[in-house]
Amino acid sequence: MKSSDITQKAHKLIQPFRITNGDKFRLTDFDPSETLDLNAEDKPRVKEALAAGVALLAELQDMLYARSCWGVLLIFQAMDAAGKDGTIKHVMSGINPQGCRVSSFKAPTSDDLDHDYLWRCAKVLPSRGEIGIFNRSYYEETLVVRVHPELLAKQKLPPELVTPDIWKDRFQDIRGFERYLTRNGIIVRKFFLNVSKKEQKKRFLERIENPDRNWKFSTADVAERANWDAYMEAYEDMIRNTATEDAPWYVVPADNKWFTRLVVAAAINETLKSLHLAYPEVSKEERRELVVARRALLAKK
Ligand code: ATP
Ligand code: MG
């Protein structure tokens, strides 16, 4: 397949992975090694198509920034070694750092725990014109915190608020928060990089065997594999409850990095295109001022 054909097909590429209504969502319906009708032989063309996607993204971002009207929040969630960091790095490689901010959310600090859980995320939301990337996010509150009840116990919540309904409550609050952002012109798109347990093992082994990758390895991540099924259940419930028309989830196959990146770039581009961006128009008055300024510049040394 030619790279231009792949670019043309971008819309079709993302459709199967986009969830706007979670009612019938089942994670097992999604194959982490899916590559649609592309295979390893198409890889060079996929790389060209991805480069074209990255260039288009840079152009769209420039207009987003110039217009300073819409903001875009991109949320990345995944199991360890699913390729969050690499995807963010590759897909955003062409864009102007001035209009982009990446925030990584690790275990909360004591200051974070003194506040409601959205607080630390709300502080770094993208402004108008900006693309904000969350490497992990408030969704961890329904994932790691759900899988490890001891984390919830440390959250200093008033005990009467910790009921069996807490996850349902959190989903409702998150849906409300994302609707609020959307109504303010901050567009929300969420990506779950769906890696298989088998591929994760392969990548952990690679981190051990390759000295340049040793720094990425953590024994705690390996221990966390014991909770794999609990995480998958938590992810499924999260997507069921928070996939909406306004703030969809993309369940991106993540066993093949080239395919993950292609889908993510296509999804971001489609989102930006849907905003019908254009450079701000200059009024007649302003154009007259430009003519005067040009004349003045040319007249003097
Ligand atoms: P890397 O690819 O470098 O491992 P990472 O995103 O996994 O990147 P880590 O330094 O391993 O980064 O730290 C993230 C850890 O913080 C994860 O284990 C995550 O579950 C945890 N974490 C994030 N948010 C919360 C939260 N709200 N409560 C508890 N733990 C959290
Ligand atoms: Mg980690």
For 206-257, how does the pLDDT look when each residue is reduced to its tens digit (9 = 90+)?
999 999 999 999 999 999 999 999 999 999 999 999 999 999 999 999 999 9
In this prediction, residue 237 carries a pLDDT of: 98
Burial class (CB in 10 A: 0-12, 13-18, 19+), 98: exposed
User: What is the number of other CB atoms lying within 10 angstroms of the CB of residue 296?
Assistant: 9
Provide the domain count of the chain.
1
User: What is the number of other CB atoms lying within 10 angstroms of the CB of residue 43?
Assistant: 14
CA–centroid distance, residue 263 to ligand 2 (Å): 23
From CA 249, how far away is CA 239, in angstroms rounded? Answer: 7
* Structural domain boundaries, residue 163: 3-299
For 134-149, how does the pLDDT look when each residue is reduced to its tens digit (9 = 90+)?
999 999 999 999 999 9
Determine the Cα angle at 144 with ends 139 and 148, to 5°: 145
Label residues 10-34 b or e (16+ Cβ within 10 Å = b).
Answer: beebbeebbbeebeebebeebebeb
The answer to whether 250 touches 75, Cβ cutoff 8 Å, is: no
Ligand 1 atom, smallest distance to 84 CA: 2
Which residues neighbour 100 within 8 Å (Cβ) at sequence distance 6 or greater?
61, 92, 130, 131, 132, 133
Q: Which amino acid is at 172?
A: Q
pTM value is 0.95
Q: Give the residue whose CA is nearest to atom 9 of ligand 1.
A: 106
For 161, which DSSP code? G
CATH number at residue 80: 3.40.50.300
Label residues 205-237 b or e (16+ Cβ within 10 Å = b).
Answer: eebeeeeeeeebbeeeeeebeeeeeebeebbbb
12-23 average pLDDT score: 95
In this prediction, residue 204 carries a pLDDT of: 96
Radius of gyration of the chain (CA): 22
What the block records as the tokens of 3 is 């790279």
User: What is the number of other CB atoms lying within 10 angstroms of the CB of residue 40?
Assistant: 9
Residues having CB within 6 Å of any atom of ligand 1: 80, 85, 105-108, 135-136, 140-141, 144-145, 151
Share of the chain above pLDDT 90, in %: 90
Label residues 135-171 b or e (16+ Cβ within 10 Å = b).
Answer: bbbbbbbbbbbbbeeeeeeeeeeeeeeeeeebbeebb
Ligand nearest to the CA of 105: 1
Ligand 1 atom, smallest distance to 106 CA: 16
As residues whose CB is below 5 A from the ion ligand 2, the structure lists 80
For 144-177, how does the pLDDT look when each residue is reduced to its tens digit (9 = 90+)?
999 999 999 999 999 999 999 999 999 999 999 9
Classify 66 as helix, strand or coil.
Answer: helix
Quote the distance between the C-alpha of residue 65 and its chain's center. Answer: 19
The upper half-sphere exposure of residue 21, i.e. CA atoms within 13 Å in the direction of its Cβ, equals 2
Of residues 77, 79, 141, 132, the one with CA closest to residue 112: 141
Q: Give the residue whose CA is nearest to atom 19 of ligand 1.
A: 106
Instruction: Provide φ and ψ at 83, rounded to 5°.
Output: 105, 25
Ligand 1 site-directed mutation target among 88, 103, 106, most atoms within 8 Å of CB? 106
Q: Which amino acid is at 240?
A: R
Of residues 137, 12, 128, the one with CA closest to residue 72: 128
CA–centroid distance, residue 104 to ligand 1 (Å): 8
Ligand nearest to the CA of 224: 1
Q: Where are the beta strands (DSSP E) in the chain?
A: 18-19, 71-78, 100-104, 131-135, 186-194, 249-253
Q: Give the residue whose CA is nearest to atom 20 of ligand 1.
A: 144
Q: Where are the beta strands (DSSP E) in 14-98?
A: 18-19, 71-78
Lowest mean pLDDT among 2-16, 24-38, 125-139, 228-242: 2-16
